[in-house]
Amino acid sequence: MLKNKIYILILLVTLGFSSCGEYQKVLNKGKVEEQYAMATKLYEEQKYNKAIQLFEKVTPSYRGKPQMERIQFMVAQSHYNTKLYTLAAYYYDKFVKNYPKSSKIEEAAYLSAHSHFLASPAFSLDQKDTNEAITALQNFLFKYPESEHSAEANENIKILTKKLEKKSFEIAKQYYHTEDYIAAIVAFDNLLGEFLGTSYKEEALYLKFMSAYKLGMNSFIIKKETRLNDAKKAFDRFKRSFPKSDYIPELEKLVKNLDEELNSIIALKTETNGL
């Protein structure tokens, strides 16, 4: 029994080396036709990395020939299946551009957009790829509104938009926590203006008020009155939007501080004018 297992193991290893040797031989010294045949075989066996190397070898020889349409699609698919989504998007885009009459044009267009979607990074990173993905998905929906992929494309746009929304909120919140209150107010306004139905609205309006409050209370006298009144406006907006918020009692106490400070400024002005 043990001898049989050892024999099978040796046979498998030998076959592996033989297969590897054949691949290297075709890759380095094979004719173009042999390379193309092996690339297609490896692609069908889902050995995509090896297939890609062979496709790269044969591409110059098949450029402009009928086989090139199939090669380009398989190259794009190989990158997609190995999760190299940025490269996959590039090759799908190339396929769409080069073969607008292909029977696979819609599939390639969708997979290009979906590759952009999958390449979108975490919200904490630069969102250039996320914006590109949204544009790609919107372009796909514009061109193929009745596609079977429409529902998924729309859902992916929502996911990406939510990511941008979170990024925008976290940036504004970071300004607040680093006490850059002017930048925080601008950033919260940008968030609320760009994402009208944002789920962060209550917290964003709360932190915008807190930013305006702290900015106003700690301002030099020349800007203090204007900033205190801006803080009161921020509170009014919050209360209109969320009249039953748990934050209201806290904010109403702070508004009393604003009123007291404003009264002190008015009293000082009156006294100064009297002199």
Question: What does the DSSP assignment read for 153-187?
Answer: HHHHHHHHHHHHHHHHHHHHHHHHHTT-HHHHHHH
pLDDT in tens, 114-140: 999 999 999 989 999 999 999 999 999
Average pLDDT, the chain: 91
Domains of the chain: 83-178 (1.25.40.10), 179-275 (1.25.40.10)
Q: What DSSP assignment string belongs to 219-259?
A: S-HHHHHHHHHHHHHHHHHHHHH-TT-TTHHHHHHHHHHHH
Instruction: For CA atoms 204, 210, 211, 212, give the dihedral sign.
Output: positive
Which residue has tokens 């009156």? 270
pLDDT in tens, 234-268: 999 999 999 999 999 999 999 999 999 999 988 87
| Contact (Cβ atoms closer than 8 angstroms) between residue 92 and residue 111 | yes
Q: How big is the chain by its Cα radius of gyration, in Å?
A: 31
pTM of the model: 0.83
What is the per-residue pLDDT for 12? 44
| Contact (Cβ atoms closer than 8 angstroms) between residue 237 and residue 192 | no
Residue 20 has pLDDT above 70, yes or no: no
